[in-house]
A and B are shown apart, each in its own frame.
Chain A
Amino acid sequence: MAPQLMQESVGSRKRLTQKIAFILFRFFSLSIVAILFAILFFIIKNGIGVINWDFLSKAPQEGMTSGGIFPAIVGTLCLVIGSCLFSFPIGIMSGIYMNEYAKNGKLISFIRIMTNNLSGVPSVVFGLFGMSLFVNFLGFGDSIIAGSLTLGLMSLPLVIRTTEEALKSIDNSFREGSLALGATQLETIRKVILPMALPNIITGLILSIGRVSGETAPILFTAVAYFLPQLPTSIFDQVMALPYHLYVISTSGTDIEASRGMAYGTALVLIFIVLILNLIANMIRKHFTDKNKI
């Protein structure tokens, strides 16, 4: 289309409205970028001075006003790994079933509605549910396993949707080609479809790790402790976790003002985790889209 030609043919009032509208859209878009950078800049500026080796490798001291956040880092790592061990295999399998196997239209749409509903359930409801099922009913107590399972259930819809979308983007001719060559459906999925969909699946999984590592409400009543001097030794131990640590020291610490520095540092570590994971996800995505072009 030739916008210049077109614009000459319309009245100047129309052009003015369009100009104003577009300027507004541009302004709003830029302001969102500005908000994002303001948050990042603010946390990085105040937090960077706190980060050093001691902060990352020591336990909190003197009522959370000095020392480090090492136990919280370890705790978050445990919870994230635990939840991924649960949600990745089940989520990917569920996605494969939905896209490759399920033929009954009503059943698929029912499962899809349920998955969408689950993704809309608030995190605090997952916390309540995890507490009553894993902590009380199954008797795990406040523990890594209870927290991991709760987080895992919460991230399932995201994993399923990611897998489904990755599989959907693969052209049907690949499936038909493989089947025509005599491969079974399982072989087709394992040797043709999954390898092709893998980059997209991995990208989604990495982003879901970022979500899980920052969640607080689901682990609030299922896994975390305010302060633990020693590291967890089994999956039935309580842990400290980064997001909960940030919440506690910024709202109800023994001395909120004195622990502000620690709070900035913790927030920066959390942001850093998310930034890195997003960066990796984007690199993978870019790498494979470039490769597919050639």
Chain B
Amino acid sequence: MKRFIEYLVEGALKISGSITSITILLIIIFLFKEGSGLFKNPVVEEGYVLTVNRDNPVEHITSFQIKEIYDENITNWKELGGIDSPILVFRFGDLENYFSPEELGQEYENIPQCLNTLINREKNIIAFFPELYLPKDFSGKQIAKEKISPVDFFGGKEWYPTAQPAAQFGLIPLLLGTLWVSIGAILLALPFGISVAIYMAELASKQMRSILKPLIELLAGIPSVVFGFFGLVIIVPLVQKTFNLPVGETALSGSIVLAIMALPTIITVAEDALKNTPRAMKEASLALGATQWQTIYKVVIPYSISGITSAIVLGVGRAIGETMAVLMVTGNAAIIPHTLLEPVRTIPATIAAELGEAPSGGAHYQALFALGAILFLITLILSISVEYISNKKNK
């Protein structure tokens, strides 16, 4: 009986032990399943068609070009490899400009017929309308029937998930936004973090340490929304005033808030690494006549460099994944940033801000899961590299 219970308990413990691995596996399955669904969506919004005149030589048109046409940035078919003539942009709502209510019919039953006539008549038209009204004997040409390609996603320079007729799911501006904010944060946090770690590991008295340690723990415990709120009411106006900007919600504001948030991670990990320096090495250095400072930067820091690197990587990971605080202070403009003083939008902030509005199962929804998968991969790579760095040292 006793043996049996022992086995039972050991089994239960074993199952619990595997839970983190199972969770990781489930995260991968669910995120990637939803995320890869994005590439099964058509370029043109689901349920709609994009058509041109039968004689139009243009066969292939990218998602981005469609958007440019409808934004009237591309106005001539020549730019798309067609003949030299202006593009006539047609949206479904324009129908009444071309046909009288009588022609459209009382119950709008003649709409498919009218569309057919119109597209036949206008050589330079590009028409966007619901698939429902696609004429049965359609004599025009349907274009851009292909699915969203990975190139559109990974190489796309625009993020307009609600744009019509072709939503833009470009990763580049969000990825760059995330990198700008995170790199800024780490550059700000690094001198502070490493200095405090050295101070705590090498210089501070026991008493001082017992004060600093709980305070840093407290800083780590402050919720990210509170940091965001603090950033919103203090740092954002400060940045705006200091640099004389139209808005204070910039990448820099995000970096400052994130730097404060990443500090506890950097300090704790780096301090642990510094403390692991063997006492004998330090004493040998001091005995050879080196000052305490020389010992720190010639012996202690080189010895613990891998731990310090881990601290930096973990700090970057923390910064890249941080959501709420960044969402609140960076302005969330999905444009490719050129300086730290522009509003940016990060990957986590995009997910948090848009998932609530994206219809479940739609392209936008799946694109947000694809972003989540990317984010997951980035942090996974960072975690594994930390593992690699510390393993290398142990050998």
Closest CB-CB distance, A281 to chain B, in whole Å? 8
A256-294 CB contacts (< 8 Å) to partner B: 260, 263, 267, 270-271, 274-275, 277-278, 282
Stretch from B20-28, B87-95, B96-104 that touches the partner: B20-28
Does A180 interact with chain B (Cβ within 8 Å)? no
Which residues from B are CB-within-8-Å of A131? Answer: 355
Closest CB-CB distance, A124 to chain B, in whole Å? 4
Q: Of B225, B230, B327, which is in contact with the most chain A CB atoms at under 10 Å from its CB?
A: B225
Q: Mark A211-248, 1 if CB is under 8 A from B, else 0.
A: 10111110011000000000000000000000110110
Main secondary structure of the interface of B (DSSP, over half): helix
Q: Are B324 and A217 in contact (CB under 8 A)?
A: yes
Which residues from A are CB-within-8-Å of B348? Answer: 122, 124, 217
Does A132 interact with chain B (Cβ within 8 Å)? yes
With beta carbons under 8 angstroms apart, the residue of B228, B260, B283, B355 that contacts A247 is B228
Q: Are A251 and B232 in contact (CB under 8 A)?
A: yes
Stretch from B62-70, B73-81, B212-220 that touches the partner: B212-220
B138-162 CB contacts (< 8 Å) to partner A: none
Does B122 interact with chain A (Cβ within 8 Å)? no
Q: Mark A5-33, 1 if CB is under 8 A from B, else 0.
A: 01101100011011001101110110111
B159-218 CB contacts (< 8 Å) to partner A: 191-192, 195-196, 198-200, 203-204, 212, 214-218
Closest CB-CB distance, B181 to chain A, in whole Å? 13
Which residues from B are CB-within-8-Å of A101? Answer: 10, 13-14, 17
Which residues from B are CB-within-8-Å of A173? Answer: none
Q: How many inter-chain residue pairs (CB < 8 Å) link A and B?
A: 262
Cα-based distance from A243 to B222 in the complex (angstroms): 11
Q: Mark A30-65, 1 if CB is under 8 A from B, else 0.
A: 011101100100110000000000000000000000
Which residues from B are CB-within-8-Å of A129? Answer: 26-27, 30-31, 372
Q: Are B212 and A29 in contact (CB under 8 A)?
A: yes
Which residues from B are CB-within-8-Å of A116? Answer: 383, 386-387
Which residues from A are CB-within-8-Å of B219? Answer: 32, 35-36
Which residues from B are CB-within-8-Å of A128? Answer: 30-31, 351, 355, 368-369, 372
With beta carbons under 8 angstroms apart, the residue of A21, A31, A160, A275 that contacts B293 is A21
Which residues from B are CB-within-8-Å of A132? Answer: 30-31, 34, 369
Does B47 interact with chain A (Cβ within 8 Å)? no
Closest CB-CB distance, A46 to chain B, in whole Å? 8
B297-352 CB contacts (< 8 Å) to partner A: 297, 314, 317, 320-324, 327-328, 348, 351-352
With beta carbons under 8 angstroms apart, the residue of B10, B296, B327, B355 that contacts A221 is B355
Q: Are B324 and A267 in contact (CB under 8 A)?
A: no
Cα-based distance from A186 to B286 in the complex (angstroms): 49
Q: A94-B16, A263-B229 are known contacts. Are A216 and B291 too (CB-CB below 8 A)?
A: no
Closest CB-CB distance, B126 to chain A, in whole Å? 36
Which residues from A are CB-within-8-Å of B234? Answer: 42
Q: Are B195 and A213 in contact (CB under 8 A)?
A: no
With beta carbons under 8 angstroms apart, the residue of B20, B218, B225 that contacts A111 is B20
Cα-based distance from A156 to B214 in the complex (angstroms): 22
Q: A128-B351, A128-B369 are known contacts. Are A274 and B376 too (CB-CB below 8 A)?
A: no
Does B223 interact with chain A (Cβ within 8 Å)? yes
Cα-based distance from A182 to B161 in the complex (angstroms): 67
Which residues from B are CB-within-8-Å of A274? Answer: 218, 221-223
A121-153 CB contacts (< 8 Å) to partner B: 121-125, 127-129, 131-133, 136-137, 153
Q: A132-B369, A133-B26 are known contacts. Are A267 and B352 too (CB-CB below 8 A)?
A: no
Cα-based distance from A107 to B234 in the complex (angstroms): 48
Q: Are B328 and A250 in contact (CB under 8 A)?
A: yes
Cα-based distance from A2 to B286 in the complex (angstroms): 10
Closest CB-CB distance, A260 to chain B, in whole Å? 8
Which residues from B are CB-within-8-Å of A71? Answer: none
A178-225 CB contacts (< 8 Å) to partner B: 184-186, 207, 210-211, 213-217, 220-221
Q: Are B380 and A122 in contact (CB under 8 A)?
A: no
Cα-based distance from A83 to B52 in the complex (angstroms): 56
Q: A120-B379, A120-B383 are known contacts. Are A137 and B30 too (CB-CB below 8 A)?
A: yes
Does A66 interact with chain B (Cβ within 8 Å)? no
Cα-based distance from A207 to B213 in the complex (angstroms): 14
Closest CB-CB distance, A156 to chain B, in whole Å? 6
Does A114 interact with chain B (Cβ within 8 Å)? yes
Does A157 interact with chain B (Cβ within 8 Å)? yes
Does A97 interact with chain B (Cβ within 8 Å)? yes
Q: Are A111 and B196 in contact (CB under 8 A)?
A: no
With beta carbons under 8 angstroms apart, the residue of A98, A113, A216 that contacts B223 is A216
Closest CB-CB distance, B41 to chain A, in whole Å? 17
Cα-based distance from A21 to B298 in the complex (angstroms): 14
Cα-based distance from A120 to B381 in the complex (angstroms): 10
Q: Of A1, A29, A160, A243, which is in contact with the most chain B CB atoms at under 10 Å from its CB?
A: A29
B28-51 CB contacts (< 8 Å) to partner A: 30-31, 34
With beta carbons under 8 angstroms apart, the residue of A114, A217, A277 that contacts B323 is A217
Closest CB-CB distance, B182 to chain A, in whole Å? 11
Cα-based distance from A278 to B215 in the complex (angstroms): 9
Q: Are A122 and B215 in contact (CB under 8 A)?
A: no
Stretch from B1-9, B107-115, B129-137 that touches the partner: B1-9
With beta carbons under 8 angstroms apart, the residue of B18, B224, B317 that contacts A216 is B224
Does B382 interact with chain A (Cβ within 8 Å)? yes
Does A118 interact with chain B (Cβ within 8 Å)? yes
Name 16 A/B residue pairs within 8 A (Cβ), A-sorted.
Answer: A10-B289, A21-B296, A22-B293, A32-B219, A32-B267, A91-B16, A101-B13, A113-B384, A115-B20, A122-B376, A123-B321, A129-B31, A160-B20, A247-B225, A251-B328, A270-B223
15 additional A-B residue pairs with CB within 8 Å, beyond A14-B293, A94-B19 = A1-B283, A6-B286, A21-B297, A25-B196, A32-B216, A42-B230, A93-B16, A120-B383, A124-B323, A125-B376, A132-B34, A133-B26, A243-B225, A246-B229, A267-B230
Give the 3 A-B residue pairs with the shortest CB-CB distance, closest first. Answer: A214-B223, A122-B321, A18-B293
